[in-house]
A = this chain, B = another copy of it.
Amino acid sequence: MKELQERIIRDGRALSETVLKVDAFLNHQVDAELTMKIGQAFADLFRSEKVTKVLTVEASGIHFALATAYALGVPFVYAKKKKAVTLSDDVYSAPVYSFTRKENYQISIAKQYLSAEERVLIVDDFLATGAALVGLTQIVADAGAHLVGVGAVVEKSFQEGRGLLEKAGVRVESLARIKSMKPGEIHFVETTPVHTS
């Protein structure tokens, strides 16, 4: 998605070779119009899959899930994050390890909102280690639902998330794939390097 890549160049900040700040327009302050276009892009990529439900995890996936679900004309569900591991018969849950915070947490979804008949599209803001997204795919499998794929707004292609998902047979679509970066420089997959200020 060209507009997104240009925006990452303009307003994103590579703080290191692994940390990209996009809180000016994607995950703290949010460009509402760009977000709706991102949802439209995911909808276009997966429209033929007859998606019945979009799935994401709180908090930074929620606005992209709304935009995607609205463009597809379906509802979305956001998994809740909890620190304590509380088991319940009413929820599907999966453990997730956060590399950013160096701690385990649990994501969960009320069973009544994910049935075996669903055709599920998972979306999130980042695909990096894939931890949260792999957790979501486990929940879809537990529900016996059909996973049509994963849509990530920004992919750190130098990390293992895409590989993990593809090895599990999951279709992965990312709107901006970062091949490598360092302060002042961001390279996308299959594009010429672009220098930032």
Contacts and interface: CB of A to CB of B under 8 A. Distances in A.
Q: Give how many copies assemble into the complex.
A: 2
Contact of A35 (B25, B35, B66, B109): B66
Interface in A107-163: 109-110, 112-113
A74 B29 CA distance: 11
A126 B170 CA distance: 37
A80 interface: yes
Contacts of A69: 30, 32
Interface in A40-88: 58-59, 62-63, 65-67, 69-70, 73-78, 80
B77 A28 contact: yes
A36 interface: yes
